[in-house]
Every structure is written in structure tokens, then in C-alpha cells.
Amino acid sequence: MQPNTSSPHGHGQSERDKGAAGAEDADIRTYVTLMLADQLCGIPVLLVRDVLAGQQIARIPLAPPEVAGNLNLRGRIVTAIDLRQRLHLPPRSAANKPMSVVAEHGCELYALLVDQVSEVVSLRATDMERNPPTLPPIWAEHSVGIYRVSERLMVVLDVERLLKLELMMAA
Amino acid sequence: MDDLLPEFLTETNESLADLDLALMKLERGPDDKATLSLIFRLVHTIKGTCGFLGLPRLEHVAHAAENVLGRVRDGELVATPEVINLVLAALDRIKLIVAGLAATGTEPAGDDTAVIAALDRACAGDITPAQAPAHLPAETAETPDAQPVQETPAGPQTIRVTVDLLEDLMTLVGELVLTRNQLLQLSRAEGTTAFSAPLQRLSHITSDLQEGVMKTRMQPIGHAWNKLPRLVRDLAQETGKKITLDMRGQDTELDRQVLELMRDPLTHMVRNSADHGLEIPEERRAAGKPETGRIMLNAYHEGGHIIIEVSDDGRGLDVARIRDKALSKGLATEAELAAMTESQIRAFIFRAGFSTAAAVTAISGRGVGMDVVRSNIERIGGTIELTSTFGAGSCFTVKIPLTLAIVSALIVSAAGERFAIPQISVMELVRVGHGNDAKPGSGQSAACMAIEHIGETPVLRLRDRLLPLISLGPLLRMDGTQAKAASTTVVVTSVGSGLLGLVVDEVFDTEEIVVKPVAPILRHVTMFSGNTILGDGSVIMILDPNGVARSAGVSSRSSAASNEGETQSFQSDERVALLLFRAGNEATPLAVPLSLVARLEDVAVSKIETSANGYVTQYRGRLMPLIAMNEAGFQLGRRMSEGDAETAQGNGAAAEPTQPILVFADGDRCMGLMVDAIVDIVHDRLRIEIGGARRGLLGTAIIAGQAADVLDTSHWLTVAWRDWFGGEQTASKARQRVLVVEDSDFFRQLLVPTLSAAGYDVTSVGSATEALKMRDAGLRVDVIVSDIEMPDMDGLGFARIVRESGPWAELPMIALTSRGSPEQIERGREAGFTDYVQKMQREALIESLRQCLDARTGQLDHAFA
């Protein structure tokens, strides 16, 4: 999936058309949208190295619960982090296979397991709002802000915090 | 100027390093013209380049130094230590300026007038007393960027390559190896196709490429040592001692990564030797040693490892002081210390915060050293051992793997997942069945290996040793298919200096794997030393046997007691496998180290007969005496109810009473201790709290949370066989110790198993000089078997030296030879050999050994009579 700044369609549609560039170019942020436990989320596209589906994940004995295992990405070993576990959300059912968003952090590659990855949206930086008080604390902790996207809230995930080792549960 | 600067910096740093070494050389031999002109040339070049590049500070300092060196070269000045000190001071100043230059791109501001003035004065003939050499804060002068492929000035051409480029090459080659493995695997599945031949070729080329790129990463260890001569010299001056540094094996090559990691530990150890180990000249004279102390560095390759020895001939480690310090720091109790061997006590210096230095000096004594050294070494998969003789010196032996990146590994599976075990740790593979179905005491042949279970703990009897077993599945908390297969495999791995058996489901093959470090989030899991991608693309973890052993609580660092000739090695600060049992109708259970027990048997009472000497049973074709711990009130076959009811029922032979027996064996001799019940096997520390007042017991200890009496094994062994220990009074190892000196690997490998099977404890060395080294290191043996025809020192020379003096002078010595003329036999006897045996005559050798040893014990008996 190639990141692009053209107008998206379908799920997570932006309200404004970015075609009229002009003075707003500097303020446009592009996100990869994804679904996690029925919550729409976004990750800045520049942090995303790859999006994968149907990966063979080898489990790692004695790893912390949010580490789903290892996978082989073109010869590099990538650690898979199950975001549902990480955010203490209920586990996904066995029938639903996760998709992965591969991000880099501290010279290591991590595959963030999510339910579904949608497309790339471009939004105006000025539209980003602070986390509303109604946002459940588990999301608030790992979000840098939210966007209102066609009557839904899109939580912008704080990838750095998600991958912060010290915060992960020890085995 | 910008593009010239990096070149200048690199070149000047190299020159400075060379100058350090050369000045040391000059000091030792002030008339060395060649070294002198080298030094002059280097300084002259530096001065010239600085002038050309417009670096005034450097130019002036270098110029002043050059003047002094010029006068030395012309013979008007002698290169005394004071002069050398001045030149060194100038070099230090240059290093400082260069460091500043490297950091900022311009010369830092500063005042060199003092240094220059001192040099000018020296030129004029006025040599001020040596100034304390300036200690530079940090050697940041080395630019990490460039690395020459070879160092010889004349000879093969060299080229500079950046380290990053080499790292990239290395990674690419790693990927290539993996892809090649994948292709090979696929092609194996396909059989022979048109692809097979080119693929073979590709595979060979890949292997060669791999080897070549690995070589580029190799650097001589001398690079890590090049600062040491200067360091030692400065330390000698500061402490007022005389020290020489002997370096051997500088050309031994090792991986660049490993080299970097070894720099600091080596420096630390050398500092320790200079500061604490070596004595001041007066002390040395008083002790009859040469005034100049020696620190020796020796590096060599051995079987996939690099061995680095750092030794000194100083005062050695004072075991008594270490013991006191350990006590005062609360690291061990009196009782524990009493039960430790000397080498275990010495090992305390590796604990954090431990230092017996009376004063904390700037050099060492802060007590943060040796534990960091050890952990640094272990982090790269190496080990460090320490030997020391009080009064004579100490020696640290560091063993590190040759390369970290690509290793051979055995692929196994457990609980449905595959793992890799580094081939270096794998000693052997044993196919086992689950032996609970086999009829006990039926004298099964050794070919049928069975896992025996004591309670829940599995053990394996391997050539008269009970090997602790760990099942990987449960240990890694994997709930895979726990199928009780008809047969499984035990991978016998070496951990520290002991063995551990890993029970796996299946063993696949050995593969070359590229070790990739685990993700940071998994670093705390010590059982894995990395992960890798197999030929089929799957990712598997690499096990670290040491980590596995630690997690399972099995002692991974048993003391290498053989060099000390120590007796029972109760390791009171490590956990050992202990067998708990009940006997003599006591409420308190008894304990014995599992390693002493050869076998656990359940003998049918009907098979136990009485003789004039007591109870006996037929065991493996011989009569085995059975001893009951508590003669009075002993009842054959009576068992306590713990767990035995189920066993009896499970056997389906509840009608037939059986007697549990602990079998102790040594060569031909065996003895059975009749017990009431075997309780369990636990892993715990053996700390005898209350000394044994009763016969047959060593004392009481707390094991697995409850009090247990510890069996005095040697007592019971002598009850059964009065001459179990050959008449010697001490409770020494029952097996006689043989030293085999034989230069032919092939023949040594023939001989060693033969002698082991005959019941001897065999130590084998490849040369007489090595044998003598071991003698001086404290190895104790009972008999020596030596080849005559050996390069360097032959058997006759060896025998003469042994007989002349030393701990082995009275031992029986047997000569092995392919020739056997009467003259040679006579010459052998003259040199000191007790007997002469032809090489291929196994029986004759065993017979001769027996005779010699019997004769010796006969002598000893006479001595004691």
C-alpha cells in the first residue's frame, strides 16, 4: 500500500478535498487508518514501513503477553506486538486474522497487529483536537489527539509510547 | 583543508600509537638505532604536515620534540627515562590537541609553553626531573571510521575501507547464506534437476565468500594490546615497582566486534596485576623472586575459541583474606565458607563490590571491576577462569568464541516448536525410552537407555553418572502436544564445566545459521541467545544452555576441581541435585548428592541373599554387598508408605516385596545401600549447618525447606569394602587418576576411553611441557602413562624432570613405546620409568597400571603400618 496524498474514498473519508492545495500544504498530515476493536485509529504515514496481511507468526516462549511472536519480513526478523493485548482490549476471535502495520523504533522493526487496515487519509493539522474527556482512558493514554472523520472519532496512536519497552508487561 | 583533515587525523593517530610502542622499545634499548630513526621520522612527518596544514600549536610542540630527538639521534643526548618522559609528555599534548581538532575541526585554544620549555631545556642539556606523565581523560583520539586491512608497511598492498561498508557486506553475506540455505532445501526436495549443479557451485562460492568476508572482520588481538605497554610503564612508575609486560600471540586474530568488547576487560586485568598482584622490589627480593615482576599476556586459538591468558608472577590471591572479606561483607556464612574449596573462595572476587584492596587507589580498588569483566565476557558467550598460587602469582584464562555471527546449530523440536542449539555446546545425543515399563533390577544391558523418574524428576544414567534432565516443553511453559512418545532424544549439553540433558521431541539436522540478536523486549529472557531464520523461512529461537540451566536451577558453574585434586566438591553456594531418601526408620530424611549415586534399584526381596558377611545380591553378574544403615531393627523389604503404594500397584506386582537400593559404583566395585524409601530429587544448596556427630552422617542441612541429614558416603563405602579407597585414609575420589602424555591425537583418543572404561579418571595432554605445566598448576594424579617418542621434550626427558623433584616424583610412571629393545627398556628405567608397555597392547597396559598402583598402595600401607 503506497502512501499518497490524494483524496481517499470509502471508510475514514476526509471531509475536505485536499486537491485545492495552496497555502494548506504545510498543514496536511497523512495517516494510515486502521480498525482496532471497533475503534478507528490512525498512524502517521511516515512511521509506517510496511502493511502486511496473512503473516506466519512464530510464537516466542516466555515472551511478555503482548509479544505475539516473530515474523520473517524479507530476511529481517520482526517482532509482532498484538495491540489488543497492549491496550488491554478483549482478544480477537480466532476467525479474524489480524493485519500488521510495520513500524520502526530504535533500529528494530515491529509489526503492530491490528484488526483491519484501511486506506490512507490526508487531514488538516488544524483539525486535530485534544482527547475528549469521554474517550476511554486506555485510548487516551496512547493517543496524541483525535480527528473527527465523518461522524467518527479517529484516534491518532502514539506509536512511540506503544513501543516503549518499559511500559510493556514483563513475563 | 576539510578533506585533508580526516586523512591527517587518521595518519597522525596511527603514528602516535606507533610512537608509544617505539618509545617503550627505545627505553629498553637506548642504542636501538632503527627504532630511534623510526621515532624521529614519525615526529618529523607530523611536524611537517602540521606546518603544511597550518596547525601552529601542533607544529610547535612537534618541533620541540623533534629537536630533542634529533640530539638523541646525533648521540649528543642519551635516551634516559627522563628524556623519554619528556617526549611522552609532548606526545600526550599532541594527542590532546588532535582530539580537540577531531571534535571541532580547528585547534583548540591552549598554552603549551610549559611543555615546549621543558623540551627546549632538555635540548640545552638541562633535564628536569621526570614529570608525572599526563593522564589523558579519554582516548577519544581514535577516529572510528577507517580501518586498514593489513598493517605491514612494506609487503602486500593495503587499502582503507570504512567499517560501515564492511558491516554492510557482512549483513549482505548473511542474507546470502540464508537464501542459499533456502534454495538448497528446496532443491533437496526436488531431487536432481538442471538446477542442482549450478546450485552446488553457487553454494561453494557462497561459503568461500562468507569465509572471506569473515576474514575482513578479523583483527589481530595486538590491536587491543597496543596501549598496554605504555599503561604498564606508567603504572610501574607510579607504584615504584619494576614491571615487564610479555605479550605472546599478538597476531592471533579475532572478530572485530569481540575485540572491541575485550579491550576494557583486558586493560582492567592488567591494571589489577600491576596494582595488586605484583609486589614492590624489596618484597620480591625477600621472597626470592627476581626484582622485576612480569605480566604475561598469551593468546591462541583452540577449537573455535580464542584463549587469552593474563597472568603475573606476583603475590597471588590470598585465600584467607578473601574468606574474611566475604564473611565481613555478608556474602557467605562461616559454615558455607568452611565447606568451600579454595578455588570457590577465590571466585568471590568476581562478585560485585568485592575488593580486598586495603586502599582505594586511582587505579583500582573500587571493587567495581571483576564482576563487570566477567559479565562483559559472558555476554559475548565466553568464560573466565581463575587459578592462583599464593606467593607465586595468578592467571586469568578467558575463553571467547571466535565469531558471533554465523554458527553451526542443531535444530530440535519440543512441544511443537523448533529451536536451535549451538553445536559447540552439544556433547552427544542419546536416544532414550521411558523406562518405567522395564522390570526393575533385571540387569538390563547398558544399550537400553531409559529415563528414570524419581517422583516427578527425570534423570538419565549416562556411563555411571546421573545426568539431570530438563524437558524443554514444560520449562518454556509451552502447552504443546505432550505426547509420551515411545522414544525421545536427550541432547547432552555442556554448561559451564558440567553436563545437562535437554529432553526434546525430535532432532533434525545441523545447520549453519546467522545469529540475529533478540529484540530488546526479549533481552531479559536468558534462555535465548538470539534468533534466526531457517532455510524454509521460518523464524526460530536459539537456546542458550547456560540460560536454560540457570532457569531450571541446575548448577551451571561446578568447580573444575580436578586441577586441585580436591575431595568431595560440595558446592555450598550453588544449587546441586540432591537425592532425598529415608532409611533407618528415622523421621528426618537423608540426603546425598545425586552425582555420587550410580544407580537406583528396586530389587525383589527374593533376590537378596544372606552370606557370612551380610546381605548380598547378584548385580550385573557380580555379587554386590548390601548395607543397611541401621543394622538394629532393619527389616528387609519393609517400606514406608510415601508414594510406594502407588508404585507397587502400578507395577501390578504388589504381591512381591522389593527393597529400594542406592547403588554406588566405581569400576569393578559396587555397593548397595538399602534404604526404606526414595523420596525425591531436589535442587538446592547443600549447606551443612550442624556438623555430624553420628557415624555415617556428615551433618544436618536444610534442603527444600526441611531438615535433612547428609549422608557420609565415604563412610558407608568403606563399610562395604574396607579397601575401597586403596587404603588411603582420606576420603578422596575412589577412582585412580591417570595422566596420559601422548602427542598423537589419534592414539590419545584410542587410549583415553580404554582407560576410562577400566575405571580410571583420565587426564590427557598432548605434550610433556603441557604435563609439566599442569603439575605446576597443582594437578594431582596417581600414575603417569607417557609416550617416549614425542617432539620437543621426549618421554625420557620428561621422566627425568618428574623424578628430579616436585609432587610427582614418587608416582609410578609407565612408558608407552612402539619399540622395545632391551637397551631402550634399560634407558627408560634409568630415566625413571617404572614399567614399559608396547603401544597397542591394551591388556598389558591395564595390567601394568594395576600392578603399579597396587605396589604403590602396598608401599603406603607399609608406611602407615
Find the mean pLDDT for residues B466-483: 73
Q: Sort strands B528-533 and B506-514 into parallel, antiparallel or unpaired.
A: unpaired
At B575-590, the pLDDT tens digits run: 677 888 888 767 788 8
At B699-716, the pLDDT tens digits run: 788 888 888 888 877 677
Task: State the pLDDT at residue B348.
Answer: 82
Q: Is pLDDT at B508 greater than 50 in this prediction?
A: yes
> How far is A161 from chain B, CA to nearest CA, in Å?
14
Contact B20, B94 (CB under 8 A): no
Distance CA B101, CA B507 (A): 58
Task: State the pLDDT at residue B128.
Answer: 60
CA-CA-CA-CA torsion sign (B14, B17, B20, B21): negative
Contact B279, B293 (CB under 8 A): yes
Distance CA B323, CA B348 (A): 8
- Check B521 against A56: CB less than 8 A apart: no
Distance CA B756, CA B815 (A): 18
Nearest of B445, B451, B441, B444 to residue B487 by alpha carbon = B451
Q: Sheet containing B528-533: give its strands across.
A: B506-514, B406-414, B417-422, B539-543, B528-533
Could you give the angle at which helices B196-216 and B163-190 cross, rounded to 10 degrees? 160
Q: Is pLDDT at A42 greater than 90 in this prediction?
A: yes
Find the mean pLDDT for residues B74-100: 86
CB atoms within 10 A of CB B123: 19
Q: Is pLDDT at B175 greater than 60 in this prediction?
A: yes
Distance CA B825, CA B834 (A): 10
Q: How confident is the model at residue B283 (pLDDT cuts 50, 70, 90)?
A: confident
Alpha helices per DSSP H over B625-761: 644-651, 713-720, 745-757
At B786-841, the pLDDT tens digits run: 988 888 788 888 998 888 888 888 888 998 877 667 787 888 888 888 888 877 67
- Check A72 against B175: CB less than 8 A apart: no
Task: State the pLDDT at residue B756.
Answer: 74
Task: State the pLDDT at residue A21.
Answer: 43
Interface check A54 vs B, CB under 8 A: no
Answer with the residue of higher pLDDT: A17 or B43.
B43
Give the dihedral of Cα atoms B233, B235, B238, B239; nearest 10 deg.
-120
CB atoms within 10 A of CB B133: 17
- Check A72 against B178: CB less than 8 A apart: no
Q: How confident is the model at residue B144 (pLDDT cuts 50, 70, 90)?
A: very low
Nearest of B313, B277, B394 to residue B346 by alpha carbon = B394
Nearest of B651, B216, B522 to residue B660 by alpha carbon = B651
Rounded to the nearest angstrom, the gap between the alpha carbon of residue B555 and the centroid of all alpha carbons in its chain is 15
Q: How confident is the model at residue A102 (pLDDT cuts 50, 70, 90)?
A: very high
Q: Which chain A residues touch B541 with a CB distance below 8 Å? A: 60-61
At B667-726, the pLDDT tens digits run: 567 888 888 888 888 888 776 666 655 667 777 888 888 888 888 776 777 777 765 544
Distance CA B129, CA B416 (A): 75
CB atoms within 10 A of CB B701: 23
Q: Which chain B residues touch A60 with a CB distance below 8 Å? A: 522, 541
Q: Sheet containing B783-787: give its strands across.
A: B761-765, B737-741, B783-787, B813-817, B835-838
Distance CA B211, CA B761 (A): 40
- Check A62 against B525: CB less than 8 A apart: yes
Q: Which chain A residues touch B522 with a CB distance below 8 Å? A: 60, 63, 67, 79
Q: Is pLDDT at A114 greater than 90 in this prediction?
A: yes
Contact A127, A148 (CB under 8 A): yes
Q: How confident is the model at residue A154 (pLDDT cuts 50, 70, 90)?
A: very high
CB atoms within 10 A of CB B388: 23
**Stated pTM of the model:** 0.47
Residue written as grid cell 610501574: B236
Q: Is pLDDT at A139 greater than 90 in this prediction?
A: no
Distance CA B461, CA B807 (A): 35
Measuring CA to CA, how many Å separate A77 from each of A87, A126, B443, B466, B541?
Answer: 23, 38, 52, 39, 11
CB pairs under 8 A between A and B: 55
Task: State the pLDDT at residue B558.
Answer: 35
At A15-36, the pLDDT tens digits run: 444 444 444 457 889 999 999 9
Alpha helices per DSSP H over B526-585: 545-552
Chain A residue nearest residue B541, CA to CA = A60
Provide the percentage of residues in chain B whose pLDDT is more than 70: 78
Task: State the pLDDT at residue B191.
Answer: 83
Alpha helices per DSSP H over B240-385: 256-272, 281-286, 319-328, 334-339, 342-346, 370-379
> How far is A46 from chain B, CA to nearest CA, in Å?
22
Best-predicted range by mean pLDDT among A73-77, B232-236, B342-346?
Answer: B232-236
Cell of B64: 620541540
B842 Rama sector, left if φ>0, alpha if ψ -120 to 50, beta otherwise: alpha
Find the mean pLDDT for residues B300-307: 76
Element (H, E) at B452: strand B450-454
So what's the ipTM on this one?
0.77
Q: How confident is the model at residue A166 (pLDDT cuts 50, 70, 90)?
A: low
Contact B429, B492 (CB under 8 A): yes
Q: Is pLDDT at B152 greater than 50 in this prediction?
A: no
Contact B637, B603 (CB under 8 A): no
Find the mean pLDDT for residues B578-606: 82
Find the mean pLDDT for residues B664-669: 70
Q: List the single range of A138-147, B67-76, B129-138, B626-635 with lowest mean pLDDT.
A: B129-138
Contact A162, A88 (CB under 8 A): no
* Residues near B367 by beta carbon (within 8 Å), at least 6 away in sequence: B352, B353, B354, B355, B357
Task: State the pLDDT at residue B634.
Answer: 63
At B743-794, the pLDDT tens digits run: 877 677 677 777 876 778 888 888 888 888 888 888 888 899 998 888 878 8
Query: CB-CB: which of A56, A62, A77 is closest to B477?
Result: A62
Task: State the pLDDT at residue B184.
Answer: 85
Q: How confident is the model at residue B104 (pLDDT cuts 50, 70, 90)?
A: confident
* Residues near B41 by beta carbon (within 8 Å), at least 6 away in sequence: none
Interface-testing mutation among B176, B180, B521, B536, with chain A (most A C-beta atoms within 10 A):
B521
At B478-490, the pLDDT tens digits run: 765 555 555 688 8
Secondary structure (3-state) at B619: strand
Cell of B340: 568451600
Query: CB-CB: which of A61, A77, A168 is closest to B539?
Result: A77
Contact A45, A3 (CB under 8 A): yes
The per-residue pLDDT of chain B, averaged, comes to 76
Interface check A58 vs B, CB under 8 A: yes
Find the mean pLDDT for residues B421-438: 74
Contact A113, A83 (CB under 8 A): yes
Task: State the pLDDT at residue B396.
Answer: 92
CB atoms within 10 A of CB B156: 7
Task: State the pLDDT at residue B291.
Answer: 87
Measuring CA to CA, how many Å separate B758 from each of B736, B844, B856?
Answer: 10, 12, 18
Type of residue numbered B208: D
Q: Which chain B residues touch A71 with a CB distance below 8 Å? A: 539
Q: Is pLDDT at B637 greater than 70 in this prediction?
A: no
Contact B517, B485 (CB under 8 A): no
